[in-house]
Amino acid sequence: MKPKKRDKRTIYKSIVALAAITAVLAAFIVCVALYWYPPYNQDSPLGTSEPFLAVNTNGQNADKLDINTATKAELTLLPGIGEVKAEAIIAYREANGPFASAEDLLQVHGIGPKTLDDLRELVMVSDEEIKR
């Protein structure tokens, strides 16, 4: 018994709908996987996807990044700091010496009060190198 023409169109529409549902489901699975398992962070010295903040030598404020010794890769892990601002921070540090306080970041081109407020709890200044 041959299927009717109308039955062939119904089967075709069902296959197209199933393909569309499969594509949407696959995209959803990829989004969930990326949320729960973020991509490998090559800038992290620990080789994980978690942000890395430098530990100062005396062990105090171990969860804060020392802006007087931080590398470009470490600075870019801070919120609102990309490669350009990280380079500006390093250039300011090299031209003017070590930062005396986190507020000195306001002197760096591209860093304003809003960015400083976002960074205040994440950065620190080592006091052993300051000779101003």
pLDDT digit string, tens, across residues 55-91: 444 455 557 889 999 999 999 989 889 999 999 999 9
Looking at the structure of the chain, the number of domains it has is 2
Q: Of 62, 54, 64, nearest to 102 (Cα)? A: 64
Q: Are residues 52 and 19 in the same domain?
A: no
Question: Is pLDDT of 52 > 60?
Answer: no
Q: Of 13, 33, 36, 14, nearest to 25 (Cα)? A: 33
* Containing structural domain, residue 4: 1-37
Percentage of residues in the chain having pLDDT higher than 90? 36
Cβ 105 vs Cβ 95: under 8 Å: no
Q: Are residues 50 and 27 in the same domain?
A: no
Question: Is pLDDT of 94 > 50?
Answer: yes
Q: Are residues 64 and 118 in the same domain?
A: yes
Which residue's entry shows tokens 């010794």? 69
Model pTM? 0.53
Q: Are residues 57 and 112 in the same domain?
A: yes
Q: Are residues 46 and 19 in the same domain?
A: no
**Structure confidence by residue, pLDDT tens digits, 1-37:** 665 566 777 888 888 899 999 999 999 888 877 777 6
Q: Are residues 29 and 68 in the same domain?
A: no
SS (H, E, C) the chain: CCCCHHHHHHHHHHHHHHHHHHHHHHHHHHHHHHHHCCCCCCCCCCCCCCCCCCCCCCCCCCCCEECCCCCHHHHCCCCCCCHHHHHHHHHHHHHHCCCCCHHHHHHCCCCCHHHHHHHCCCEECCCCCCCC
Q: Are residues 127 and 102 in the same domain?
A: yes
Q: Are residues 46 and 108 in the same domain?
A: yes
